[in-house]
Amino acid sequence: MAALRTNVSARPTSCRWDAVGGSSYDRDVSAASPSSPSGRAMPAPPGVGGRPASPGRVRSRARRAWALIGSLALVLLCALLAMSAGGVYGTETSTFPAPLQAYSMAGAFLVIGASVLLVWRHRHPVVVSCIATAAVLVVPTTALPALVALAAVTAARTGWRRWGLIAATYAATIVAFCWDLAGPQSYLGSFLGQATPGTAAPASLYALTPVAAAICVAPFAAFGIARHLRRERDTARDESAAANRVVSVLHREVERERERQTLARELHDTLAADLSQTALHAGALELMVGEATNPKAVSAARTVRESTQNSLDHLRQLVTMLRDPDRRLEEASALSDLPALIDDAVRSGTDVRAQLFVDDPASCDRAVAHACYRLVQEAISNARRHAAGSVVTLDVRGGPATGLTVRAANWLTPAAAPTSRGGGNGLRGMRERTELVGGTFQAGPTAEGTFAVVAWLPWSVAA
């Protein structure tokens, strides 16, 4: 891959830019970073590490643990009831014939297996419910496994599947009650007070099995349906909240666009006119003085005119970007523009000691590249304003695998008067620009007596 490798020597007059191929980034960027005059490395970019686990994940694991414990308890209860039913119907005390007793004992293991499947009733509700219901239909046993599976399937399914499985579970519960009434010890008959232990229940109780089955099936089906409705309510509430957030974001975007249009008009109507007038007067002064009369005044007037014209061009570009959002990225600066920016700073008298080591700069997203360009521009401008004459040490390096790291430092010179008074928004704007592309930013004095700016920008591939 192509790499942008640039090195500015200590003398501003002997700057040289070379483009070479191959990888040029060292992963230990702190060891290869530009150092201060005392020999110590500049501060490293902040916050490259793992994030702590969020409390929401901890609570989710706790809920899953309690759900697993509840499922295991239900499985154990259903298995114990299946073993109890097998003991009642399959022992010598049973009133059933010997073949049916053996069938009941063998069927108890089938129901125990169906009870174990209840652990996966939420993942495969229809399959588990069908197996549990079929086991209760064909084996003299308890109806609890089919009822537990019914609660899960009614919470997960709607339509004919839900009502079909409710009907199947209802039929299986009736069959289980009939087996109970036919056995030597009828729990339903004992509950109604019409069965003598050791004898079969009266035939009149069989007419009550549909009512008893409905009473047993209704709570489980209602629990599952209520759970399904609660889930739908929560989903609708979340979708409504998401829609409200989208509407709020769109409203803010409309307000920002209106503000941008207003700002573009004000910039064009005020600053553009003033800059044009300043450039015109500087050009007139350059012609009136003449090169032969006062060359220094002519050079100063030419510098003012060129600087004003450049500012006017930048202002027009900014107005275009504000008025046409689709052209913002087209007008954005690229990483390849950094050498020209540093060259201009050197020509204007700023002592910049720069190192640029960037792998495959053309693949970087324009938004990230533009943010990097503005960070370098503002760092040089701040050093020129607040520490005039101080050496600016600049290092920009990175690539697709590591992101971009920007480091800029200058010596603190309290005795030097600033060339101009800023509004205090430079560092704040640099931080905001960095955070907008997902990066991190630090700025402040260091122990070596320098003021350092350190930013890390994630590498996004250009569309």
Q: What is the pLDDT of residues 133-181, one digit of tens each?
A: 999 998 888 889 999 999 999 999 988 989 999 999 999 999 988 888 8
If you average pLDDT over residues 36-57, what whole number do you get? 41
Gap between the Cα atoms of 136 and 139, Å rounded: 5
Gap between the Cα atoms of 187 and 448, Å rounded: 87
Query: What number of CA atoms fall less than 13 Å from residue 323's CA on the CB side?
Result: 11
Lowest mean pLDDT among 34-43, 167-176, 329-338: 34-43
Q: What is the pLDDT of residue 457?
A: 92
User: Is 344 in the same domain as 267?
Assistant: no
User: Is 347 in the same domain as 446?
Assistant: yes
Residue 70 falls inside a structural domain = yes
- The DSSP-derived string for 67-92 is HHHHHHHHHHHHHHHHHHHHHHHHST
Residue 43 falls inside a structural domain = no
pLDDT value at 380 more than 80: yes
Gap between the Cα atoms of 105 and 107, Å rounded: 5
User: Is 345 in the same domain as 447?
Assistant: yes
Number of compact structural domains in the chain: 3
User: Is 280 in the same domain as 404?
Assistant: no
pTM of the model: 0.47
User: Is 322 in the same domain as 339?
Assistant: no
* Strand-pair partners of 457: 404
Residue 463 falls inside a structural domain = no
User: Is 126 in the same domain as 68?
Assistant: yes
If you average pLDDT over residues 329-357, what whole number do you get? 83
Q: What is the pLDDT of residue 147?
A: 93
User: Is 114 in the same domain as 90?
Assistant: yes
User: How are beta strands 352-359 and 2-7 bridged, if at all?
Assistant: antiparallel
> Of 327, 347, 377, which residue constitutes the final position of a domain?
327
Segments forming the whole domain that contains residue 429: 2-32+332-457
Q: Are 152 and 224 in contact (CB under 8 A)?
A: yes
Residue 445 falls inside a structural domain = yes
User: Is 196 in the same domain as 115?
Assistant: yes
For residue 436, count other CB atoms closer than 10 A to its CB: 10
Q: What is the pLDDT of residue 407?
A: 93
If you average pLDDT over residues 406-431, what whole number do you get? 71
Residue 309 falls inside a structural domain = yes
Helices (H), 91-186: 98-116, 125-138, 144-156, 160-182
- The DSSP-derived string for 234-297 is HHHHHHHHHHHHHHHHHHHHHHHHHHHHHHHHHIIIIIHHHHHHHHHHHHHHHHHH-TTT-HHH
User: Is 129 in the same domain as 146?
Assistant: yes
* 241-279 per-position pLDDT tens digit: 999 999 999 999 888 888 878 877 777 777 777 777 787
B/e letters for 9-41, b = 16+ CB within 10 Å, e = fewer, are eeebeebebeeeeeeebeeebeeebbebeeeee
% the chain with pLDDT above 90: 23
Q: What CATH number does the domain containing 376 carry?
A: 3.30.565.10
Residue 462 falls inside a structural domain = no
> Of 201, 236, 259, which residue constitutes the final position of a domain?
201
The vertex-420 CA angle with 296 and 269, nearest 5°, equals: 85
User: Is 368 in the same domain as 411?
Assistant: yes
User: Is 197 in the same domain as 292?
Assistant: no
pLDDT value at 35 more than 60: no
Q: What is the pLDDT of residue 52?
A: 43
Residue 222 falls inside a structural domain = no
Give the contacts of 334 (CB within 8 A, at least 6 positions apart): 361, 362, 364, 366, 369, 370, 373
| Angle of helix 366-386 versus helix 426-436 axis, rounded to 10 | 160
Q: Comparing C-alpha atoms, which of 354, 361, 328 is closest to residue 459?
A: 361
Residue 87 falls inside a structural domain = yes
User: Is 92 in the same domain as 147?
Assistant: yes
> Of 310, 327, 344, which residue constitutes the final position of a domain?
327
User: How are beta strands 450-457 and 440-445 bridged, if at all?
Assistant: antiparallel
